[in-house]
Structure 1
């Protein structure tokens, strides 16, 4: 396979050198030298009428066209409505020209000018909302999920050409930063004119021409400069008493943006997801995701169902949020984001687990009832200046969670109760600035965070009797953990542009200081006692990463080359005063990365990456005393620090033709990891798990293929998207002291289809197939699969009424045989158009399906989960937009 990749790489080089590529750029003006926007500039060969490349001038009258041909000369032509066309013969080489047009009045007779559904201006794709809009659509998310090249994942994350967007703007301003689902799910489409995709978007404007980005941003273009809008609804229903409220006002002006929201329901809609972080951070924010809490102990959950929350989630949720952005003097921006969540959830279901070992098969049956209480407050204050001459940003954030959970499990006819206290406190400050010194840029970054996690898990009756109480049963066991952490990353870099090269040198250091104290106590015959030091931890973790990085970027024409060669010095110090153990690790490693991007033509681009890096363990990978992670999982990791070496390579192909509304991508990656630790799992006769690890070298291999294509047919208003991914992971593991090679493989084809048949009928169909297989040492593989069909029909008997029929059909291939389930929802909507009010009646789960069974394969187990679903319910809702 490596040889094939090398041959492919040289083939691309030969093709690129066999033809000459020119970049024709310039400006179109009138006879008074005023810039003309919206002028179509085309290139074509001298010997034929076929247009081979084109561009449309931006607001400054500028254009840029890449053109590949062996001819010495070509024709350039500029045309526009009410302007006299101009045609010139020019040399086929990169140049900058000015084209002057004379006005030419045109008398039109009954001409209906319809803009194209997708308009490309420079690096920006503008999708017309009106073109993709249907009568049943209400918020901007309904439009975005139809756009070719764009998709929305279940958690709300938006992808363009298979990669997450790096920014979500509203009129060019970043009000919500990483929590853009709030706007996506509530911004009325009647306020939006375009959804814009900004390709190769660099969020820091000072770096726009220096640091290349392969990610896109999404920008919402509103219909006017001042917009007061929003959504609201109030609903009530029966079976049992149900309510659903949402009040989300929005104000957008040139200098102010405001979104507030209060939402509450007990209908299974998980609105708290609208306040979750879903967007990746910038390259200068290494602590973007450090607000994610590390759970040391957890309740034994039911696996998350692979279908909509409204089918199964029993909840009572209230969320509130206020988000405000104001543009100050000197191009400063002040942003305030506040949010509150109060959420109660229930889970009911059964889990049947079969553990496979080479010598035995162990079965575990659990009937579960879990209750979750989520309470959190989060706030952030951001001051930022971001223009082509100055960048400065400081963001201060704090977060507090006061969560608790309760669980009842009937395990093999034994009742087990669980109580989890799960608070979390966290604050962070992020500072970054870039300024110019002559022709160089100085970039200073400093990001620090503090967190505190006090957790406890109480289990009754006590578990692991052989390990804890000499085989005798006892009343209960209580695991307590207190984890405090401080993380800080600080760096300074110098950037300089030398012709087609951008050279960046960085020096910095990263510090992680963590302390974890844990103890395990038991209640035996009414007396509480702490277990011996084998079940305690007083762990001190210190990590220092000092680094020097030299990054070189080369950009010329269609080529972009990046070589990153960081030299990292890692120092680890780990000690435990209770166990009387410690270890040190010092490493000086070079972790290079090579990235190549080549635009074959204006439609097709190829990119490839090769990298080497060391992956060291985290504090949760080492603890010398036993730790009760769940009621049936206890771990002790008295092992050396993880020190893995990862070699990975990837190649991708991207195709996009906005004029034909066609987008596609193909991606392949392969990685080899050399591990210094071999993990061991010991499954007891009761299904309890004891995890550990030993120092033994081993390797794991992974492969990933992702391919997709999407197209929009404007004449029949139809969008089609096809996507599939295939993964395979091969690794070694000890299971009940026996070394086995485990291979896990999955394939997941998908299909999405949206069409507006006519003004009376719309149709949507989504198909998902998931096939999983796993096997030990080339034995007969174990397989499981699930098919999901979602089909939705919207009937519009009149302009102001809609009948929507939604169906979910699931087919699960289980070891006990296939199961089939159908869910149907009916919605009738009557609209008062002048007042923008909808009256909706919703009948959910009309077949009153009570449960569904799904199957899941892990490395050495098979799990069947049965979920108790929401009953049939009827709700009446009044919805309106401002």
Structure 2
């Protein structure tokens, strides 16, 4: 392992320490003054605003009861380019240029106002009305911003993750509405990336959001949603953008989109193609899909086969993603006069990508260490075709929705690899067929109570086939006789049905909801492991029979929910009770089981409003989970080229206690947001995985032994808009510890993993022509055996990871932007690995031609390889990935 050191490897932390006093000193200047009338009367509570040459607010204050004001300014601010504005109802507006004076005595002239003619044109940047917080986009956007997603990252209290997920004060949003319509559902990334911020007037944060109108004030909700308020003048016509980019080495980046947002019809249709490393599958990410499935109760197993142990580097995907991608994302919504809303979504993706990987791993045992090496060139061909049609009527008197969804997707992966020095060719094919329909109907009765009917039905299948050549692990699989190839096939067709009916008593102080329902699940796991011999024969694996496992789950459940809200207190209690029968059988293993369970999963939530904006909440949940078909099959499955999975236990049963405490602090007008939380979870299962590891293969068996896992985590997050800097500063800290057990080579190892992470993020306008952004993450990881004072023969694993990002944006005139970005990474385990990446972007806005010219230069330092470490329990992995190297792309965009 050789770590290259580049000339730019000077820690950005040192750089920040050098400029930090400069940033602190940016508060020393001040503009003071007094507001009076001609007759000497003080003018109290006037709005005093200082703006720069671009008419952007630098700072503001309100005069006190005596008409005095004092506004702090950065030392870097040039008074010759600043303007002082005074506004007060009943007085003429005053606007004067600052000339370096320390004190300004300003005389205001009174004027008579006809209130019927008053039009409010200057609104605050942020305002609150009830549970809705509204940000004025124009006051946060910058000249270099294009999409609304770029502006969202700058809003105080709002966080946008690298994968596009949006959070408000630490909580993930449930939906991104466009003028009140849910055009994109939970796949809103394409919207935040495509919608120009110039189309959006306000961003509204809706807390305690209940999306179903008939349930408003009847069923409480702690959901948070965003609503983009579209400007009136852009609703009348379709807008869009056409983009074409070409570059060296031979590259292309193309896109065409069409956007129309009016009251009757909304559309956001995008077609993209590129080979510059942009992963288009992220546009189809469904952030709360897992929440929906868990609510439904579907516990289908994940894919059983994989290409192996290759992970991905902790880098932005364009650094290493070698791709050829085409995607279509079409979202259309029609509002009919009768209140019915029709919506269609079409998602299509065709992709080819490549990942080159070298890896070493060490598994530490009591008296031995297992070394493993791997080199792999992985070629993947994923595809996706997903279609959704829905009809919805969301009225005060009733709610109706029917959603039909069909998805056909899959992947073909080919790999040329060396496994401990032995050459191996691998092919894995996976195809998913998924058809579902969800119906929901909620009418209001004459007595104002409500009933709710929900019916969800689904069919899915995931056939997979793994082909390895030459045959692997002959001593275990083929009685030490070399053979030509290995074929592992598996599929699990699934039928799922859930039907429920509920009745809500919503007129009293204690709102009550009672639900009855039935759940049915039928699955069939078939697997075949075949060894293709050199003489042309195909033999079954002698160490185990194939799987022919039939599975059924039937559940009858009842649930009572109680909600109480009085003044500052809000309480909800859920008491679900279910009787369940699970049956499974496999004639090859003479396996016949029928199990009956009574499941009780209560949940309690308490919320106390400290004041109008702050609240303290706590929750407790006890849950019983039963395993699925993926944990009870008896026949061996070769899940990848070096792992065999079998089970020797009954159905997994796991009970969990979860306790959480959350404090949410908001000062909307001051633009200060903070949230802190503590969460503890303890899980007890009746099975534990036992791994038998040697130099060539790992065998995993599920054993009937009790396994306890406990996790404690805490976090604090602060976001504040600093007027002197003209942007938000954010910081987040988190700490977690997890205790669990694992069995390796018949030895029990109780482990404790700990993680601490600190992430600051701030932006500053240093001068009128340059801005500065800094964000970083430092993470400390440790993993050790719990020995209770006895010296362990296994070493404690420790790793420190630093990721620092600095960005300068230079404003050359009004329409030319130069963006210089540097990223420094450091990974410390036994030794230290350091990297520095540098990118540059030049963008010229041709306003009259409605066009942009852009030159994008990436990886200017030409870093071609990336090494990293990963630790967990008694394992340490070293990985080396190929990167894309230096690239240049010239783009032309036309806005229509």
- Bucket of the pairwise TM-score, normalised by the shorter protein: 0.7 to 0.9
Match of 2:863 among 849, 853, 867: 849
Match of 2:812 among 797, 807, 831: 797
Higher normalized strand content (fraction of residues): 1
Tell me if 1:809 matches 2:818.
no
Retained in 2: the 8 A contact 1:186–1:231? no
2:883 corresponds to which residue? 869
1:621 corresponds to which residue? 631
Q: CA deviation at 1:361?
A: 0.8
2:413 corresponds to which residue? 405
1:601 corresponds to which residue? 611
1:580 corresponds to which residue? 590
Contiguous gaps of at least 5 residues in structure 2: 1-46, 48-63, 67-87, 92-110
Q: CA deviation at 1:315?
A: 0.4
Cα distance in structure 2, aligned partners of 1:82 and 1:495:
53
Cα distance in structure 1, aligned partners of 2:293 and 2:363:
44
Pair 1:372–1:694, CA change in 2 (3 A): same
Tell me if 1:822 matches 2:831.
no
Tell me if 1:249 matches 2:258.
yes
Cα distance in structure 2, aligned partners of 1:147 and 1:458:
50
Cα distance in structure 2, aligned partners of 1:122 and 1:825:
44
1:184-263 superposed matches below 5 A: 184-224=192-232, 225-239=235-249, 241-263=250-272
Q: CA deviation at 1:475?
A: 1.9
Q: CA deviation at 1:466?
A: 2.7
Tell me if 1:360 matches 2:361.
no
Match of 1:371 among 362, 371, 379: 379
Retained in 2: the 8 A contact 1:643–1:675? yes
Q: CA deviation at 1:280?
A: 4.8
1:325-364 superposed matches below 5 A: 325-364=333-372
Match of 1:681 among 676, 688, 691: 691
Retained in 2: the 8 A contact 1:157–1:279? no
Match of 1:529 among 539, 549, 564: 539
2:664 corresponds to which residue? 654
Retained in 1: the 8 A contact 2:372–2:695? no
Tell me if 1:476 matches 2:485.
yes
Secondary structure in 1 aligned to 2:381?
A: strand
Secondary structure in 2 aligned to 1:748?
A: strand
TM-score by length of 1: 0.86
Cα distance in structure 1, aligned partners of 2:174 and 2:615:
20
Tell me if 1:725 matches 2:734.
yes
Match of 1:696 among 700, 705, 711: 705
Match of 2:644 among 634, 638, 644: 634
Deviation larger for 633-642 or 832-841? 832-841
Q: CA deviation at 1:757?
A: 3.1
Deviation larger for 115-124 or 162-171? 115-124
Tell me if 1:157 matches 2:171.
no
Tell me if 1:746 matches 2:755.
yes
1:437-586 superposed matches below 5 A: 437=445, 438-526=447-535, 527-532=537-542, 534-586=544-596
Q: CA deviation at 1:195?
A: 1.0
Cα distance in structure 2, aligned partners of 1:439 and 1:875:
62
TM-score by length of 2: 0.84
Deviation larger for 709-718 or 193-202? 709-718
Pair 1:481–1:107, CA change in 2 (3 A): closer
Q: CA deviation at 1:582?
A: 2.3
Secondary structure in 1 aligned to 2:506?
A: strand
Q: CA deviation at 1:845?
A: 0.7
1:140 corresponds to which residue? 148
Tell me if 1:760 matches 2:760.
no
Retained in 1: the 8 A contact 2:725–2:763? no
Q: CA deviation at 1:571?
A: 1.3
Q: CA deviation at 1:434?
A: 0.3
Retained in 1: the 8 A contact 2:204–2:227? yes
Retained in 2: the 8 A contact 1:548–1:568? yes
Q: CA deviation at 1:293?
A: 8.1
Deviation larger for 649-658 or 766-775? 766-775
Retained in 2: the 8 A contact 1:166–1:280? no
Q: CA deviation at 1:284?
A: 9.8
Q: CA deviation at 1:451?
A: 0.6
Cα distance in structure 2, aligned partners of 1:456 and 1:468:
18
2:36 corresponds to which residue? none
Secondary structure in 2 aligned to 1:716?
A: coil
Q: CA deviation at 1:441?
A: 0.3
Q: CA deviation at 1:784?
A: 1.1
Contiguous gaps of at least 5 residues in structure 1: 1-39, 41-47, 51-79, 84-102
Q: CA deviation at 1:553?
A: 0.2
Secondary structure in 1 aligned to 2:588?
A: coil
2:76 corresponds to which residue? none
1:61 corresponds to which residue? none
The CA RMSD measured in Å over matched residues stands at: 2.4
Retained in 1: the 8 A contact 2:301–2:630? no
Match of 2:803 among 788, 800, 807: 788
Retained in 1: the 8 A contact 2:251–2:275? yes
Residues 325-347 of structure 1, C-alpha deviation per residue, up to 9 Å, x if partnerless? 00013211000111210011100
1:70 corresponds to which residue? none
Residues 709-757 of structure 1, C-alpha deviation per residue, up to 9 Å, x if partnerless? 1011234312111112222111112111011101112122111112333
2:50 corresponds to which residue? none
1:6 corresponds to which residue? none
Give the paired residue count.
Answer: 783
Retained in 1: the 8 A contact 2:135–2:204? yes
Secondary structure in 1 aligned to 2:589?
A: coil
Retained in 2: the 8 A contact 1:750–1:769? yes
Q: CA deviation at 1:283?
A: 6.9
Cα distance in structure 1, aligned partners of 2:245 and 2:803:
29
Secondary structure in 1 aligned to 2:481?
A: coil
Pair 1:197–1:489, CA change in 2 (3 A): same
Cα distance in structure 2, aligned partners of 1:804 and 1:773:
37
Deviation larger for 520-529 or 623-632? 520-529
Cα distance in structure 2, aligned partners of 1:820 and 1:773:
20
Cα distance in structure 2, aligned partners of 1:104 and 1:445:
61
Cα distance in structure 2, aligned partners of 1:400 and 1:198:
35
Retained in 2: the 8 A contact 1:534–1:579? no
Pair 1:284–1:736, CA change in 2 (3 A): closer
Retained in 2: the 8 A contact 1:82–1:106? no
Secondary structure in 1 aligned to 2:544?
A: helix
1:49-88 superposed matches below 5 A: none
Q: CA deviation at 1:279?
A: 3.2
Secondary structure in 2 aligned to 1:396?
A: strand
1:667 corresponds to which residue? 677
Residues 789-837 of structure 1, C-alpha deviation per residue, up to 9 Å, x if partnerless? 111111011111111111111101132x101101111111111112331
Cα distance in structure 1, aligned partners of 2:459 and 2:775:
44
Q: CA deviation at 1:661?
A: 0.2
